[in-house]
Chain A
Amino acid sequence: MALFKKILIANRGEIAIRVTRACRELGIPSVAVFSDADRDSLHVFLADEAYHIGPSPSAESYLNYNKIIEVAKLAGVDAIHPGYGFLSENTHFAKALEAAGITFIGPTVANIEAMGDKLSAKALMKKAGVPTVPGSENGVDNIEQARAITEKIGLPVIIKASAGGGGKGMRVVRKMDELESAFRACRSEGQNYFADPTVYIEKFINDPKHIEIQVFGDKHGNHVHLFERECSVQRRHQKIIEECPSPSVPNDVRMKMGEAAVRAAKLINYVGAGTIEFIFDNSTKEFFFMEMNTRLQVEHPVTEIVTGYDLVKEQIYVAAGKPLSFKQEDIKQKGHAIEARICAEDPITYKPHPGVIRACRHPQGPFMRVDSYAYPGYEVPIYYDPMIAKLITWGETREEAIDRMQRALSEFVLTGIKTNIVLHKTILDHPKFRDGSYTTQFIEKNFEVIEPQIFKEVEDPVFLIAAAITAYNDRKSKDVRQLNLTSHWKRIGRKLQLRT
């Protein structure tokens, strides 16, 4: 069965390159699209064809699906891969493609819709027997009701003002006799700060970890899971390090999570690659559904490395109507993989730091993978995500994978822009990362005073001497008189005086 004649990749950066690579390995010509800011971006160089789709802001280019479909028709493509982000979970886009007779390499419109709305997704999960965070479905009006619910779900619980935010109107209750005062406090804070006294009660997760299960479905009713990824290392609520397998999930729980994810995928007849995210309580090893991402994830490589399956190629096979190329019993986790997201950002403030890359040399060597779009002279644009590269290492054991990642990070030369490479190195050495006990609050709790650690690698004189010699050379090479704005007439005058 022929796959596709030509595939357009409606994305940019490393993921556009990732998909281009899968296309090339399958012998399918690939089409890149690019905005004004991305004419010099690596995904444009690596694709077989490339078309301009508009100005730099995403809304006018990578999100402009009418323009993208127009280019697709012009280029004669019969399938579009959306990557992640941008249009990957946009049902209008998926519907427009259907109307245009172009295959969307992703789930069905119904799949995206079912999981797009949090409430309906939660209801579906309950139906599939997937645990959700226990709590009151509706607002809790009085203390008797609050006590009944708390007894039902068990301590500890968290009371949340429904309109709350920023830590206001939230109370953790660990003992029954604290319930009444916490309940009253939340209601009055809700009333005072948000003019709404409605409160909810939910199970409180002591040591929350972000564990997700990769699922895959085809158009023939087959569904499998490819085990978990742990993504608890987060800054600004975004993941920066992911690993597979999780150091915290016992094998029986791993199996339960996988089975629950497959039940959910089957219930909605899910097609293609998807990820079911769970909040995992490391103290009780319980897991609860958070949401489902109906697309390929940034961190898919750790699953690829550990299971040995190419998820992007599999997406293309499934979109072309082929049955899944693996069965559940074939899928095994071999060794351990870690991914570090390299971002153009300040390692202390996490603020994006776009700019021109000067020197760039990617790490090389055994058992690692680099998915990057950085090159020397490339200007990281201000318009898009600051992630410029992903580094993935494999080891027979978790320790080996971590040590290998440290080695790879040390080899990575990237200058001209600030990056979070030093932050990664600091995290990988942290005892809470090493022993696997880290939770989603790991960075905010442990990296408040991070600066001395981050800069411990290099002594001050190295920086000072390098700057001083460079400053010396700069001044020597400049005509100091010009530098100091002496007028041309004066210079000529002085010269003449010297001659006489």
Chain B
Amino acid sequence: MYFEAELKGKKFKVDVAEQKNAWKVSLQEDGKDWVHYDISKNDFKKAEQYISFLFEGKSYLVDVIGKDTEYTVFTRNSFRTIKVFNDEMLLHESLKKGGGFGGDQELKAGMPGKIIEIFAKEGEVVKANKPLLIMEAMKMENEMRASRDVKIKEIKVKQGDSVESGAVLISFDEP
């Protein structure tokens, strides 16, 4: 599952993949290289009310609060608030703010998936809250909508395409 995250003004690309016994988490800070972490599920487990996280030999009791686009992580009496966006959230957030985070002029896939249906047409002005496309990921259909008026500049995928995390699906212009 692909996310973009923001921590204390620093931007990161984040990819999370779940395996039977492990988490594969990759982080890329803006302008730096991807770093891959292979975390055994045994090293990231619920204990009491917290998560016991054994990371690079260090033991952290972690508590994560939040939902949707904002998570606060507490550990060792430090805490950080992290903004986490995936595709439709990126769209909604960027449209809400009228720009800013992660390139407001395109819709990206938040996770690997398959394009089921495309409603938008190139050159068309799409009203807020109208569906743009449906993407299937993790066996669920994910309908992505515009949350304000946009003009469709280019549709970079077609029905039936399989896309990777972070792939640009549609680019926009101002209506």
Interface residues of A (CB under 8 A from B): 358-359, 361, 376, 409-410, 412-416, 418-419, 421-422, 425, 454-455, 457-458, 460-472, 474-476, 479-481, 484-486, 494
Contact = CB atoms under 8 A, between A and B. Distances in A.
A481 B71 contact: no
A415 B82 contact: no
Contact of A475 (B1, B5, B23, B74): B1
Contacts of B144: 484
13 contacts: A358-B63, A359-B50, A418-B79, A422-B78, A461-B35, A463-B75, A463-B82, A466-B44, A468-B14, A471-B1, A471-B71, A480-B138, A481-B140
Given A457-B78, A481-B143, 7 more contacts: A361-B48, A461-B27, A466-B64, A468-B16, A471-B71, A475-B1, A486-B141
A419 B76 CA distance: 12
A464 B61 contact: no
A467 B55 contact: no
Interface of A is mostly: helix
Given A358-B65, A472-B1, A461 B55 contact: yes
B114 interface: no
B18 interface: yes
B76 A464 contact: no
A467 B70 CA distance: 9
Contact of A413 (B55, B61, B65, B86): B61
Interface in B134-174: 137-138, 140-145
Contact of B142 (A359, A413, A484): A484
Given A415-B50, A465-B37, A481 B14 contact: no
Given A414-B77, A455-B78, A467-B5, A462 B141 contact: no
A455 B10 CA distance: 15
Given A410-B76, A458-B78, A464 B143 contact: no
Interface in B1-48: 1, 3, 5, 7, 10, 12, 14, 16, 18, 23, 25, 27, 35, 37, 39, 44, 48
B1 A464 contact: no
B74 A485 contact: no
A458 B75 contact: yes
Nearest to B139: A480
Could you say which of B16, B61, B66 has the most chain A C-beta atoms within 10 Å of its C-beta? B16
